[in-house]
Amino acid sequence: MAKKTLDKLPLKGRRVLIRVDFNVPLDDSGNVTDDRRIRMALPTIKCAASAGGRVILMSHLGRPDGRRVPAMSMKPTAACLSKLLGADVGFAADCIGPEVEKTVAGMKDGQILVLENLRYHAGEEENAPDFVAALRKLADLYVNDAFGTAHRKHASTYGVPSAMPPGTRAIGFLVEKELKFLGDALENPVRPFVAVLGGAKVSDKIGVIENLLSKCDRLLIGGAMAYVFMAARGQGVGKSKVEREVKKKDGSKKDMVAVAAKLLEKMAAYQGRDREGAGPSGRCEVHFPADHLVARAFAADAETDVQSPDIQDGWIGLDIGPDTVELYREKLSDARTVVWNGPMGVFEMAPFAEGSKALCAAMAKVAERGGTVVVGGGDTASAVEKFGLAEKMTHISTGGGASLEFLEGKPFQTIAILGDA
């Protein structure tokens, strides 16, 4: 998916409307508590401004659902960006309308303006034509550098670029980086290629598992999603969190234990199947936790135990056990490409962070010896930051749901409509 990057556009003197992902956490005082997403957008912003573009940044923050919610204002992100750049950054009290158009018209080359929260208007998520037209008035050029929202056909990600003429649309450097590392991992991995999947839900990883089974050499599973597979096998899961069903759009419910049982059949087939382009074994090994770190209660000071292969009644699985840690370390020891999405346990609590921390350290070694390690967004990125190993990873995706859908192999129409390289 080779796309034109913004440095190939005629930026000087042009109004450059850039979709960024400044959906960052704020404290009660309205201060940005984690500026990583803003920092990741800096190369694109600096490029556009230094080339003389009139840089207009648009983003959402939170879920205001079409209402003006002061606690979800973009104003703190403008202040944070100004501090990071060491330069003045303007702020518009809305994202559309005559006043915003007037402010944009008065911009000089190299100036930067942050628009107010896109989702203060219901038309953003609805991709409403009138909202698209209002945003379109602000732009000569369009750039998408918000990978975290690239799987959503909203006004700012799909409607506006669709309304722009060919030759005026491009991607930013962050989206370019996301497409490169995630795309290379899936389509051209240096083998052995190991995928590590964890987290609480199996429902949002069904497609990911099915896609990766045909691509990776080893699949290591942990987190609470492992307990669904245990339940499907008839194993004891105690009081562990098990995603037994999910509600579908039509209101009916899907039995996730039954879904897991079918996935187990597919996994068994892939473990014995020759696969063109695979590693030396020609198969995809699939590994589940051999033992579990469990507790009497969901609390940092609760009584703990290590149990295998089942989890006994009255106990809660909260991390992979020491034998599993050693097994997974060994399976990562010769990896050349690793994709990780989802922690192995409740890493926010120190007693149950060891599984995720140990595998994170093993992945850092993969990267240190020249391998590629791509970390999915959301909780996985938070875990890597918590363990102080973020700088050791090859790439940490800024997209939670977007990275999952990419790993699932779903096309991103918001990227497809942009200019080809």
Q: Which range marks the domain in which residue 319 is found? A: 191-370
36 and 155 belong to one structural domain: yes
The answer to whether position 15 is within a domain reads yes
The answer to whether residue 333 is domain-embedded is yes
What are 219's strand-pairing partners? 195, 286
Flag whether 104 is in a domain.
yes
**165 and 233, same domain (yes or no):** no
One of 14, 37, 119, 218 is an active-site residue; which one? 37
| Other CB atoms within 10 Å distance of the CB of residue 100 | 21
- Determine the pLDDT at residue 272: 60
CATH number at residue 251: 3.40.50.1260
Identify whether residues 124 and 259 lie together within a single domain: no
Same domain, 155 and 212: no
Q: Is residue 154 domain-shared with residue 212, that is, in the same domain?
A: no
* Cβ contact 320:302 at 8 Å: no
Q: 61 and 110: one domain?
A: yes
Q: What's the pLDDT at 421?
A: 64
pLDDT at site 1: 60
Same domain, 229 and 318: yes
Q: For residue 139, is it within any domain?
A: yes
Final residue of a structural domain among 353, 370, 387? 370
CA distance 46 to 50: 6
Question: Cis bond leading into 165, ω under 30°?
Answer: no
Question: Do 97 and 39 reside in the same domain of the chain?
Answer: yes
Residue type at 396 in one-letter notation: I
Note whether residue 298 is domain-resident. Answer: yes
37 annotated active-site: yes
The pTM (predicted TM-score) of the whole model is 0.87
Query: Is 64 contained in some domain?
Result: yes
Instruction: Please tell me the predicted confidence (pLDDT) of residue 279.
Output: 44
Using left for φ > 0, alpha for ψ between -120 and 50, and beta otherwise, residue 329 falls in alpha
Give a yes or no: residue 186 inside a domain: no
Active site residue 39: no
* Active-site annotation holder among 201, 244, 329, 392: 201
Together in a domain, 111 and 211: no
Q: What are the strands, taking DSSP E only, across 259-331?
A: 285-287, 292-295, 304-307, 316-320
What is the edge-to-edge ordering of all strands in the sheet holding 54-58?
Answer: 90-91, 112-114, 54-58, 15-19, 141-144, 169-171
Q: Can you give the pLDDT at residue 248?
A: 83
**How many domains, the chain?**
2
- In this structure, what are the phi and psi dihedrals at residue 300, rounded to the nearest 5 degrees? -65, -25
Considering the domain architecture, whether residues 166 and 196 belong to the same structural domain is answered as no
327 and 233, same domain (yes or no): yes
Is residue 386 among the annotated active site residues? no
pLDDT computed for residue 379 by the predictor: 87
Among candidate residues 222, 376, 378, 399, the one labeled active-site is 378
Residue 180 domain-assigned (yes or no)? no
Pairing of strands 90-91, 169-171: unpaired
DSSP letter string over 36-95?
HHHHHTHHHHHHHHHTT-EEEEE---S--TTS--GGG-SHHHHHHHHHHHTS--EE-S-S
Q: Does the active-site annotation cover 177? A: no
Cα separation values, 237 from 58, 232, 234, 343, Å: 46, 10, 9, 19
For the chain, count helices (H), then strands (E): 16, 17
pLDDT at 260: 95
Q: How much is the pLDDT for 390?
A: 92
Catalytic residue among 137, 401, 409, 410: 401
Surface-to-core class of residue 162, CB atoms within 10 Å of its CB (0-12 exposed, 13-18 middle, 19+ buried): middle
Taking the chain (421 residues) in runs of 10, the rounded mean pLDDT of each run is: 90 98 93 92 98 98 96 97 97 98 98 98 98 98 94 96 94 93 87 94 89 91 96 96 88 91 90 51 83 97 97 98 98 96 95 97 97 88 93 88 82 88 64
Q: Are residues 139 and 210 in the same domain?
A: no
